[in-house]
Amino acid sequence: MDFLNALVVLANFVLIPAVSYGSQLALGALGVTLVYGILRFSNFAHGDTMAFGAMVTILFTWAFQAFGLSIAPLPTALLALPFGIAVTAGMMLLTDRWVYQFYRRHKAKPIILVMVSLGVMFILNGVVRVIIGPGEQRFNDGARFIISAGDFKKMTGLSEGLAFRSSQGLTIVVTLISVAVLFWFLNRTRTGKSMRAYSDNEDLALLSGINPEKVVRVTWIIAAILATTAGVLYGLDKAFKPFTYFQLLLPVFAAAIVGGLGNPLGAIAGGYIIAFSEVTLTYAWKKVATYMLPDSLAPDGLAQLLSTDYKYAVSFTILVIVLIFKPYGLFRGKAV
């Protein structure tokens, strides 16, 4: 019984939260890694693109709620998501037309493009705050739990409860679908293959007649889809706040770099590695230890390695370690 209880506690506080947080990071990191592979620069505006996409989706959600539109038990935000994606994709394509295209034509160095994306980041940062405000927004409706802690206890008779929130379930399902569709697209369709070819060898892609501007446009649209989806899922799971999304840039980049920049598979693995490291290192293990160890060995303190305030330090440390020992990332992407 103690062992089962320990497992339940672990699943409730570590496994499920880390998997859903990892999925959100993976979606974010996929966007970063794709832009890096195709456009060859680190897009610092990605965190704020997630914020922008989530914001547009929230506005649509509120509008739908005002009209009384609902797809309960699923959150209304899911209905608003395609609209959020469309607006965000439009915004990205306009940004490319007005900003990035100029630098591409002049064959600007990657570092210049990174600085350009920093500028785009600040603008988006401001735009989001002007439109929706800097405060926290909650927009989750529909059923709150798939399994609540109380139901779980009644069902199993265990003394520990396992809560599985619908936002977590939704995150996992949506991530699985998005990743499957993305890989199908990259590996099976002509456009997807041309994107991989362009990322692999730009000159040869041009010699083969691949249109670089089309590849770039498709990349921005996919980045918009991934960023908006990640942003909305994170907002449903926790809450929407522009500053939090700006901070997400660090774990998202850490995930992309740990997996190997430019490698989609690596971005996914990186997302879960970062999420699990953050959650396990900042989790108070006292309860699990109490169940698992004999009474004499039970810890007095919380058995927490790091305070949750330091969770960003975890991604940063992993990032530094990977850059020192494996600069191409675990899945061999491009050098940073």
Give me the residues that bind another protein (CB under 8 A), please. Answer: 190, 193-194, 196-197, 200-201, 203-210
User: Measured from the CB atom, is 209 or 301 closer to another protein?
Assistant: 209
User: Measured from the CB atom, is 218 or 230 closer to another protein?
Assistant: 218
Give yes or no for a contact between 1 and 158, defined as CB atoms under 8 angstroms apart.
yes
The letter for the amino acid at 275 is A
User: Measured from the CB atom, is 104 or 196 closer to another protein?
Assistant: 196
Query: What single DSSP character describes residue 263?
Result: -
313 token code pair = 């330090």
CB of 199 to another protein, least distance (A): 8
Query: What single DSSP character describes residue 146?
Result: E
User: Measured from the CB atom, is 10 or 210 closer to another protein?
Assistant: 210
If 0-12 CB within 10 Å is exposed, 13-18 middle and 19+ buried, where does residue 326 land? middle
CB of 259 to another protein, least distance (A): 15
CB of 190 to another protein, least distance (A): 8
CB of 195 to another protein, least distance (A): 11
CB of 37 to another protein, least distance (A): 10
CB of 109 to another protein, least distance (A): 17
User: Measured from the CB atom, is 105 or 190 closer to another protein?
Assistant: 190
Residue 194, number of CB atoms within 10 A of its CB = 19
Query: What single DSSP character describes residue 304?
Result: B
Residue 26 to residues 29, 47, 223, 230, Cα–Cα distance (Å): 5, 13, 12, 8
The rounded distance, in Å, linking the Cα atoms of 233 and 160 is 27
User: Measured from the CB atom, is 106 or 190 closer to another protein?
Assistant: 190
- Secondary structure element (H or E) that encloses residue 145, with its range: strand 145-147
